[in-house]
């Protein structure tokens, strides 16, 4: 499915300034309360050490507040409720490209972090299979090797800058797992990891310096680092396209082969933008998490002792294997036992996730949906989840367990999802589940593949189909298809 590329954003700081001033002037609702007077001191404080400033504003104004930084009123949302609101319950109200993440476009381009809507969903569908558990497990060897070699020089009593150390290790892992680059073999004296850090350094400069253009400015250094990185990445893409099947198991080679439901893959530019985005998305997040992990372990001798004891007991001095890190269901169960569920189910999201997971898997797929049919916190709508399933050609069987008869909306939705995708819905009491499973199993064994070659059509929407059987029997089939 051809999806049009997102609109380019201007990188001209004056144009951005005018745009932001106009956006404030034409705002249709008031900004949330906060510190909205112009203040150079506040902007400088934010640049140097933002956390205390944000915590003060949180204390004074609550989880949603405005801080004017330079000329722009910036709205912040902090805390668990705000996170849930933005990333789960009301995610559809937010766009990533127009917010601060858009500032990353000059380096990252149009990847998952800087795009929205259909373009974003389409890219996600193509990329998802590259992140299956087995694929991640393949990267675990690189992680273990790099962690060990990073720990090699440590001696008891050393003082180590942990943040710098984790950044170094994480970048080496990313270079190998994402691009298949050997971080010890800097080509022609060019070290991609170092160049990436150089490009990121742009965002550490004061805002006024970030606005400067011309030779010798942080902007010029960002552009030059990007040009050098692009040269290496595009050369690698060209090398692999010319010699398919010899890329190794890294993410770049998986994305080179990834296709959407119409067999369309990523262009060179899209591939470059997505891999660069993954490099960024996985960098600061992982490095600060690991650094804080060490920090918390240093503060909590109790936990540290338990961790070391577990390590000795399980590993007895050897290094862990990928399977131990990813397949230990008992450890996952223990970890989940400490979590408490909040809010409600996200049934539509679960359908979209399951369907996306099956994308790229050969053969005809079916999903068995076991649900109370209610949805409290999905970011996708019912109609979208149905469309995802129809586009992917996945058949859904649904079982509504212990659903009250008056819950007509839930019942109707479960049945619609199933009937429109060629499956069936069942409403049973939990003790009769076995019967439903047996019927579904029998049904799946007796499926027939009827193929139908539609003629050319300019209508990209849903095409309904009806299958009639002449001897008076009924045949269940898909309700239609997307061309």
Could you list the residues that contact ligand HEM (CB under 6 A)?
Answer: 87, 112-113, 124, 277-278, 281-282, 285-286, 289
Provide long-range contacts, Cβ within 8 A and 24+ apart, for 282-286: 282/170, 282/174, 283/167, 283/170, 283/171, 283/174, 283/200, 286/166, 286/170
The torsion angle over the Cα atoms of residues 266, 270, 274 and 280, rounded to 10 degrees, is 160
User: Which residue, 114 or 421, has its beta carbon nearer to ligand HEM?
Assistant: 114
User: Which residue, 57 or 251, has its beta carbon nearer to ligand HEM?
Assistant: 251
Distance CA 107, CA 263 (A): 29
**Which residues are paired to 72 by β-bridges?**
69
User: Which residue, 286 or 413, has its beta carbon nearer to ligand HEM?
Assistant: 286
Provide long-range contacts, Cβ within 8 A and 24+ apart, for 132-135: 132/357, 133/326, 135/249, 135/251, 135/254
User: Which residue, 96 or 205, has its beta carbon nearer to ligand HEM?
Assistant: 96
Cβ at position 115, least distance to ligand HEM in Å: 8
Cβ at position 279, least distance to ligand HEM in Å: 7
What are the phi and psi torsion angles at 272 (to 5°)? -60, -45
Classify burial at 14, counting beta carbons within 10 Å of its beta carbon; exposed 0-12, middle 13-18, buried 19 or more: exposed
Cβ at position 216, least distance to ligand HEM in Å: 33
Angle at 146 (CA atoms; ends 145, 151), nearest 5 degrees: 100
Cβ at position 326, least distance to ligand HEM in Å: 14
Cβ at position 106, least distance to ligand HEM in Å: 18
For residue 351, give the nearest of 299, 413, 404, 292 by alpha carbon: 413
User: Which residue, 338 or 430, has its beta carbon nearer to ligand HEM?
Assistant: 338
User: Which residue, 125 or 240, has its beta carbon nearer to ligand HEM?
Assistant: 125
* Residue 174 CB-half CA count within 13 A: 24
Cβ at position 179, least distance to ligand HEM in Å: 12
């Amino acid at each position: 499915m051809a999806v049009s590329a997102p609109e380019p954003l201007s990188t001209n700081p004056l144009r951005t300034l005018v745009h932001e001033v106009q956006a404030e002037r034409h705002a249709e609702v008031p900004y949330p309360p906060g510190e909205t007077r112009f203040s150079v001191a506040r902007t400088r404080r934010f640049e140097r050490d933002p956390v205390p400033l944000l915590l003060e504003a949180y204390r004074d104004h609550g989880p949603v507040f405005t801080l004017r930084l330079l000329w722009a009123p910036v709205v912040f949302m902090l805390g668990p409720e705000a996170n849930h609101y933005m990333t789960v319950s009301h995610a559809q109200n937010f766009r990533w490209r127009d917010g601060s993440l858009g500032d990353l476009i000059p380096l990252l381009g149009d990847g998952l972090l800087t795009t929205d809507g259909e373009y974003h969903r389409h890219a996600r569908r193509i990329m998802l299979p590259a992140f299956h558990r087995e694929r991640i497990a393949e990267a675990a060897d690189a992680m273990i090797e790099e962690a060990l070699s990073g720990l090699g020089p440590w001696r008891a009593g050393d003082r180590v800058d942990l943040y710098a150390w984790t950044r170094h290790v994480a970048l080496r892992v990313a270079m190998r797992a994402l691009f298949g680059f050997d971080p010890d073999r800097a080509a022609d004296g060019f070290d991609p990891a170092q160049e990436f850090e150089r490009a990121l350094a742009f965002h550490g400069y004061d805002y006024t310096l970030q606005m400067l253009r011309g030779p010798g400015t942080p902007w010029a250094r960002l552009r030059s680092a990007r040009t050098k990185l692009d040269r290496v990445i595009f050369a690698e893409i060209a090398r692999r396209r010319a010699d398919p099947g010899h890329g190794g198991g890294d993410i770049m080679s998986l994305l080179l082969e990834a296709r959407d439901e119409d067999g369309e893959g990523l262009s060179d530019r899209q591939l470059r933008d997505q891999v660069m985005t993954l490099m960024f998305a996985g960098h600061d997040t992982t490095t600060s998490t690991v650094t804080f992990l060490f920090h918390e372990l240093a503060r909590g001798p109790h936990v540290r002792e338990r961790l070391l004891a577990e390590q000795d007991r399980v590993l007895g001095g050897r290094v862990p294997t990928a399977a131990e890190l990813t397949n230990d269901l008992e450890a996952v169960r223990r970890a989940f036992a400490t979590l408490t569920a909040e809010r409600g189910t996200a049934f539509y999201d679960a359908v979209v996730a399951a369907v996306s997971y099956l994308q790229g898997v050969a053969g005809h797929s079916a999903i068995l949906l076991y649900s109370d049919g209610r949805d409290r916190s999905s970011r996708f709508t019912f109609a979208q989840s149905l469309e995802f399933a129809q586009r992917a050609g996945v058949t859904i069987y649904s079982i509504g367990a212990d659903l009250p008869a008056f819950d007509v909306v839930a019942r109707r939705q479960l049945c619609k999802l199933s009937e429109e995708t060629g499956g069936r819905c069942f409403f049973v009491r939990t003790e009769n589940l076995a019967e439903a499973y047996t019927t579904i199993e029998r049904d799946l064994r007796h499926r027939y593949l009827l193929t139908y070659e539609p003629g050319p059509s300019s209508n990209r929407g849903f095409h309904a189909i009806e299958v009639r059987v002449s001897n008076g029997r009924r045949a269940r089939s898909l309700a239609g298809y997307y061309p």
